[in-house]
């Protein structure tokens, strides 16, 4: 087998202690008969250019990007796909045989696919609430703006960052509210999406009063470490329906896999069992 036949991909970020991406992509590479491997590569913020040059030299087909590099990678790329340009963030890069690079963003695809697969009947007669103002918040907002909702509310501890998102992609259908008003907004929402790292292992929990939300309200947390965050535990305790962030990880990975290998992989039972075993 030649080196060209052996396909390599990776994920970069800083740090990279809890990523499940290798489990997902190596499962799919084996399933679809692709000889190769997917590995994690911790890359410090000041080493992005060197890391990219190394991956080109090694002949990688592409790589995923997680925090804090999703925006910082952009000046190092040759092209951006339209959605990545609109979002101002990249989570997937394809490296052509000649070394040319294209940045993509599959976060929004993964976020909405996870919601549609788990709770396709979520209430759309009330606004959706997006918490946060990073790349994942932009992805959530873009996906939700394509649904038949009255409008999308966004709130963030730094209001100015939320205002930037509303201005750039809101199409007149996004409302920015102050952080201190988030509990009042939650009462009116049909869907609440936490896109912050609040509730992740090692971080403070998200403080949000959902005790008086309507019983058909859906609470969606993109954090998957832990799988059931304090926010989701609280939602379950109040009888609300919940969506974990694990499916978003898988579905955004599937879209990335298709970018590299032109195969849309399946979230099969074997992969589901492998991932769920991590949390047992």
Distance CA(174)–CA(165), nearest Å, equals 9
The full DSSP string for 183-204 is: HHHHHH-SEEEE-SSTTSTTSP
Contacts 24+ apart (CB under 8 A), 159-163: 161/133, 161/134, 162/133, 162/137
Residue 222, judged by CB atoms within 10 A of its CB (0-12, 13-18, 19+), counts as buried
Sheet holding 241-243, edge to edge: 174-177, 152-155, 128-131, 191-194, 218-221, 241-243
- A 10 A CB-CB count for 163 gives 16
> CB–CB of 154/165 below 8 Å?
yes
Catalytic entry in 8, 40, 70, 94: 70
> CB–CB of 7/61 below 8 Å?
yes
CA distances from 39 to 60, 132, 139 (A): 11, 29, 25
- As a residue count, the chain comes to 280
Task: Verify whether residue 31 is a known catalytic residue.
Answer: no
Active site residues: 70
């Amino acid at each position: 087998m030649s080196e060209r036949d052996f396909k390599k991909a990776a994920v970069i970020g800083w740090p990279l202690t809890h990523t499940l991406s290798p489990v997902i992509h190596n499962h799919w590479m084996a399933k679809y008969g692709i000889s190769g491997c997917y590995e994690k590569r911790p890359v410090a913020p000041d080493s992005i250019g060197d890391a990219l040059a190394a991956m080109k030299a090694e002949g990688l087909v592409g790589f995923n990007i997680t925090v804090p590099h999703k925006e910082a990678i952009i000046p190092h790329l040759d092209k951006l796909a339209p959605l990545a340009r609109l979002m101002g963030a990249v989570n997937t890069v394809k490296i052509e045989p000649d070394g040319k690079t294209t940045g993509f963003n599959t976060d929004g695809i993964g976020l909405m696919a996870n919601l549609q697969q788990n709770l396709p009947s979520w209430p759309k007669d009330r606004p959706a609430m997006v918490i946060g103002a990073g790349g994942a918040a932009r992805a959530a907002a873009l996906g939700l703006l394509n649904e038949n909702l009255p409008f999308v509310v966004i709130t963030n501890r730094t209001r100015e960052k939320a205002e930037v998102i509303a201005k750039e992609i809101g199409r007149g259908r996004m409302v920015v509210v102050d952080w201190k008003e988030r509990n009042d907004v939650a009462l009116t929402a049909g869907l609440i999406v936490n896109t912050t790292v609040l509730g992740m292992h090692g971080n403070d929990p998200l403080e949000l009063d959902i005790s008086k939300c309507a019983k058909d309200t859906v609470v969606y947390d993109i954090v998957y470490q832990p799988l059931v965050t304090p926010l989701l535990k609280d939602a379950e305790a109040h009888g609300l329906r919940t969506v974990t962030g694990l499916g978003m990880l898988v579905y955004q990975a599937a879209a990335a896999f298709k970018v590299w290998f032109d195969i849309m992989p399946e979230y099969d039972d074997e992969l589901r069992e492998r991932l769920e075993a991590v949390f047992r």
